[in-house]
Amino acid sequence: MSVDLRQGKTPEKTVFVSAVALVDADHRVLIAQRPEGKSMAGLWEFPGGKVEPGETPEMALVRELKEELGIDITESCLAPFTFASFTYDDFHLMMPLYLCRVWKGEITPMEGQQVKWVRPVRLGDYPMPPADVPLVAMLRDFL
Ligand SMILES: Nc1nc2c([nH]c(=O)n2[C@@H]2O[C@H](COP(=O)(O)OP(=O)(O)OP(=O)(O)O)[C@@H](O)[C@H]2O)c(=O)[nH]1
């Protein structure tokens, strides 16, 4: 006899995304606005992206931060902080969130996206994907 463990919505696939809260010397966090043409355009999010086959989440962030922001980070500077596990209409998102306070290079939006340094208490002023809401609350408490 099999037991049906599904609760609520049953997503077709799980998407593995890696994200990072870059934190500056004033304890502000960098968020980026999703550009037009992408899903959830206009919402603010933590830099990062999908983990490709053969990558660890840390490797994905080293690659994404170079591609999106033109900066170099080292895996050893990525401190695991928390994660999002959220069911969207068409997929389930698993997204570790790291903290990173050290990087090399000037932050340069490489894909025409807007970026902003925001104090954790003000993060709520920026619309973010629903998966990010609990992460913001944790950053506010921690930073
Ligand atoms: N980078 C990032 N992605 C997030 C966050 N919150 C969240 O729900 N996501 C979702 O995770 C996925 C990230 O994938 P991505 O950035 O590599 O994807 P993309 O825009 O190229 O792909 P897409 O247009 O197919 O969604 C998107 O569906 C995005 O909406 C976040 O804080 N940071």
Arithmetic mean of pLDDT, 13-42: 95
Q: Which atom of ligand 1 is nearest to the CA of 50?
A: 17
Residue having the nearest C-alpha atom to atom 26 of ligand 1 = 39
pLDDT band at residue 12, thresholds of 50, 70 and 90?
confident
Task: State the virtual CA torsion across 59, 127, 122, 45 in degrees, nearest 10.
Answer: 10
pLDDT at 105: 98
> Mind listing the pLDDT tens digit for each residue in 88-99?
999 999 999 999
pLDDT class for 5, splitting at 50, 70, 90? low
What pLDDT score does 2 carry? 62
For the Cβ of 49 lying below 6 angstroms from any atom of ligand 1, the answer is: yes
Judge if the beta carbon of residue 40 lies within 6 A of ligand 1.
yes
20: which 2 tokens? 């990072």
Model confidence over 68-89: pLDDT tens digits? 999 999 999 999 999 999 999 9
Q: What residue ranges do the domains of the chain occupy?
A: 14-142
Q: What is the ipTM of this complex?
A: 0.92
- Give 11's pLDDT tier (boundaries 50, 70, 90): confident
- Cβ(118) – ligand 1 distance below 6 Å: no
Of 15, 30, 90, 93, the residue with max ligand 1 atoms within 8 A of its CB, to mutate for a pocket test, comes to 93
Query: What is residue 122's predicted lDDT score, i.e. its pLDDT?
Result: 97
- State pLDDT tens for residues 98-126: 999 999 999 999 998 999 999 999 999 99
Residue pair 45/19 in contact (Cβ under 8 Å)? The answer is: yes
| Of the candidates 37, 36, 104, 41, the residue with the CA atom closest to the CA atom of residue 69 | 104
Can you tell me the distance from the alpha carbon of 83 to that of 93, in angstroms, rounded to the nearest whole number? 10
CA dihedral 37, 127, 57, 10 (to 10 degrees): -80
Measured in angstroms, how far is the CA atom of residue 3 from the centroid of ligand 1?
Answer: 33
Q: Among candidates 44, 69, 53, 65, which has minimal Cα distance to 15?
A: 53
CATH class of 14-142: alpha beta
